[in-house]
Amino acid sequence: MPTYTSLQTEDPAIYEALVGEMKRQTEGVEMIASENYVSPAVLECMGTVFNNKYSEGYPGKRYYAGQEFTDAVENLAIERAKQLFDAAHANVQPHAGAPANVAMYFALLEPGDTVMGMDLSHGGHLTHGHPVTYLTKIFKFIRYKMKDIETGEIDYDEMRQVALKEKPKMILAGFSAYPRELNYAKMKAIADEVGAVTVADMAHIAGLIAGKVLRNPFHDGFDVITTTTHKTLRGPRGGMILTREAELGKKIDKSVFPGFQGGPIMQMVAAKAVAFGEALKPEFRQYAKQVVVNSKHLAAYLMVKGVKLVTNGTDNHLMLIDCVKSWNLGGNEIETLFDRIGITLNKNMIANDTRKPMDPSGVRLGTPAITTRGMKEKEMEKLADFMLTAVASRADETALLKLHEEVKTFCRKFPVPGITT
């Protein structure tokens, strides 16, 4: 781990915050489904002199000189990404997942075109057409939902009927809070029937697809995949766009640069290359498998203890607790309560939620970060017991303080990559 001696001297306030964050991560349990820990190698790469280099353009076609080594790392990132996801083309320059989606939209659509995406309250993402985003001023969004919130099954029959009526130019698969696996083949069949391009936003499950524990949308004929490079993929914060056919990749490249972004963040591109290299190793497949094993075990244990989960379980790395049905408490109350004992998760709306987004009925939690720390099935039960004890003791400040100390002791057995204590 870096010593941060220069930072300590130059800016003690920032250094103090950094040390505090390292302590928080070490002594707490990270169960936010979209968060993870990167390896020391990825962490090192993000603080390199690649930060000093402007690299507008693409390898071999840059606008500035001095690109020998930036070209090398970007080409490595591209080739490793293609290998991971069976893609014909990869653009590794998007700064984040949302910009990747925006660039994808403008590459494949014209203003006024219709996009069919998952309803936010049923698990979709803001960039899939939520009214608060600027995208809805440019494109028309229609939504699909679950048919049965007890099983999580998407209503593919209704989806087809709406598609036949509205004739979307794009059908978008993907989610930020959906515990089941989508049927890409059914979506592709509907898209073919109406002449729509198919896009999968796999930001949450990219690592599980790379690790071969969830299905790859390309194998069911999807045209494009967008993703973040952190979350289950355990890379730096950033985005990526993949295509099944190389010709489509040319449109994507033009949309990312010069259409939407300027120069890539080269230290992040280099870190992506390192993370993709790690994901190609057999150890990563074992990690991805354990993420899902842990998630399913935690979900089953919670349900045995009387906790109500949306869709009654999970097929991936995340789950949603209906806090109202479980404990007659709101999601915000549970988020705050668990934070007090050192367990971090996030409040989240559930399907057909009657409460407001900042005080919804549910919370979302996941297993990617805790699995990275080496936790397995027995630790899932321990974490569930911590949470259930916190709910039962929520009016007892002394009991909560004692429980927080127990969580700290538990966490010290599982080091965070890149942090030494």
HSE at residue 140, side-chain half, CA atoms within 13 A, is: 8
Instruction: Single out the catalytic residue among 62, 143, 231, 234.
Output: 231
Is 211 in the same domain as 313?
Answer: no
**pLDDT at site 129:** 76
Q: What does the pLDDT average to over 19-28?
A: 97
Is 129 in the same domain as 92?
Answer: yes
- Count up the domains in the chain and report the number: 2
The encoded tokens of residue 33 equal 């489904």
Is 249 in the same domain as 315?
Answer: no
Q: Residue 308: pLDDT above 90? A: yes
Is 361 in the same domain as 259?
Answer: no
Q: Residue 420: pLDDT above 80? A: no
Is 106 in the same domain as 187?
Answer: yes
Instruction: Single out the catalytic residue among 140, 147, 215, 237.
Output: 237
Let me know if residue 382 belongs to a domain: yes
Q: CB under 8 Å to 340, separation ≥6 — which residues?
A: 390, 400, 404
The CATH number for 184's domain is 3.40.640.10
201 catalytic per annotation: yes
Let me know if residue 12 belongs to a domain: no
Is 140 in the same domain as 181?
Answer: yes
The residue with tokens 């300590």 is 8
Q: CB under 8 Å to 200, separation ≥6 — which residues?
A: 172, 173, 174, 184, 217, 222, 224, 225, 226
Domain end (from 231, 253, 279): 279
Instruction: Single out the catalytic residue among 44, 54, 339, 408.
Output: 54
Q: Residue 3: pLDDT above 90? A: no
Domain end (from 279, 310, 333): 279
Is 308 in the same domain as 342?
Answer: yes
Q: Is 112 exposed, middle or buried (0-12, 13-18, 19+ CB in 10 A)?
A: exposed
Please write the tens of the pLDDT for every residue from 28-48. 999 999 999 999 999 999 999
Is 182 in the same domain as 230?
Answer: yes
Let me know if residue 294 belongs to a domain: yes
Q: Residue 315: pLDDT above 90? A: yes
Instruction: Single out the catalytic residue among 228, 243, 314, 367.
Output: 228
Q: What does the pLDDT average to over 373-380?
A: 98
Under a CB-based contact definition with an 8 Å cutoff, are residues 349 and 357 in contact? yes
Instruction: Single out the catalytic residue among 56, 113, 333, 406.
Output: 56
pLDDT band at 1 (very low <50, low <70, confident <90, very high): low
Is 191 in the same domain as 84?
Answer: yes
Element (H, E) at 193: helix 184-194
What rounded mean pLDDT belongs to the chain?
96
**pLDDT at site 133:** 85
228 catalytic per annotation: yes
Please write the tens of the pLDDT for every residue from 338-357. 999 999 999 999 998 999 98
231 catalytic per annotation: yes
Let me know if residue 417 belongs to a domain: no
Q: Residue 240: pLDDT above 90? A: yes
CA distance 76 to 176: 29
Let me know if residue 367 belongs to a domain: yes
Under a CB-based contact definition with an 8 Å cutoff, are residues 50 and 70 in contact? yes
Let me know if residue 13 belongs to a domain: no
The CATH number for 338's domain is 3.90.1150.10
Domain end (from 245, 279, 313): 279
Is 141 in the same domain as 76?
Answer: yes
Q: What does the pLDDT average to over 385-405?
A: 98
Q: CB under 8 Å to 153, separation ≥6 — which residues?
A: 146, 147, 180
The encoded tokens of residue 34 equal 């979209």
Instruction: Single out the catalytic residue among 201, 220, 223, 315.
Output: 201
62 catalytic per annotation: no
CA distance 343 to 337: 9
Q: What does the pLDDT average to over 402-413?
A: 98
Longest dimension (CA), the chain: 64
Winning range, highest mean pLDDT, from 50-59, 119-128, 142-151: 50-59
Is 198 in the same domain as 52?
Answer: yes
CA distance 419 to 23: 9
Report pTM. Answer: 0.96
Please write the tens of the pLDDT for every residue from 284-303. 999 999 999 999 999 999 99
**pLDDT at site 149:** 87
Let me know if residue 162 belongs to a domain: yes
Let me know if residue 28 belongs to a domain: no
Measured over the CA atoms of residue 277, residue 280, residue 283 and residue 285, the dihedral's sign is positive
Is 322 in the same domain as 391?
Answer: yes
More confident site: 421 or 229: 229
Domain span holding position 357: 290-411
